[in-house]
Amino acid sequence: MRFWITAIILLFLDQVSKLAVRSCMSPGESVPVLQGVVSLTYVQNRGAAFGFFQGQKAFLLVCAVLVVGAAIYLNRSSRLPGAVQILTGLVAGGALGNLIDRFNSGYVVDFIDLGWWPVFNIADSAICCAVVLTLIYSYREGKSGMDDG
């Protein structure tokens, strides 16, 4: 249940934020939020993270469907710990948010601009955070498993 709640909440936040950006800004427009730290910059990303795979819409759609499918399969076929359910929910919700953009528009709406990092969105943040937290979780679980015997 944590998987579905996490994925749905993330998908909602992602899509609402992108709708607000598309409604209130023009592509390329940038608005400082915290001067010198973060801006809202409307970018239409036709590639994957950091602009990789530009123009590879079909490939990126297939990858997103596989990621979402794998996350759903894992959560339906196993009794995963609550933390893992949440982490896979973040990945699935993020992948689905970007999949919806790519399918509907041919590009993903990015808008969080730190100035020193490629512009990204809430879905991207969730996926990256989930991957990092999964690595930390796996490392900690592996270490505690080694202590047992």
Alpha-carbon distance 59 to 73, whole Å? Answer: 21
**Out of 17-31, 38-52, 63-77, 89-103, which region has the weakest mean confidence (pLDDT)?**
38-52
Average confidence (pLDDT) over 21-41: 97
User: DSSP 3-state assignment of 132?
Assistant: helix
Listed in sequence order, the DSSP H helices in the chain are: 2-24, 57-77, 82-105, 122-147
pLDDT band at 35 (very low <50, low <70, confident <90, very high): very high
Q: What is the mean pLDDT of residues 103-126?
A: 95
Is the predicted pLDDT of residue 73 greater than 80, yes or no?
Answer: yes
Residues with a catalytic annotation lie at 110, 124
Residue 31, SS3? strand
Q: Alpha-carbon distance 100 to 83, whole Å?
A: 26
Q: Which residues contact 19 (CB under 8 A, 6 or more apart)?
A: none
SS3 49: helix
pLDDT of the residue at 61: 87
Domain holding 75, by residue range, is 2-147
Categorise residue 50: left if φ over 0, alpha if ψ from -120 to 50, beta otherwise. Answer: left
pLDDT of the residue at 53: 79
pLDDT value of residue 149: 45
The answer to whether the pTM exceeds 0.85 is yes
Into how many domains does the chain fold?
A: 1
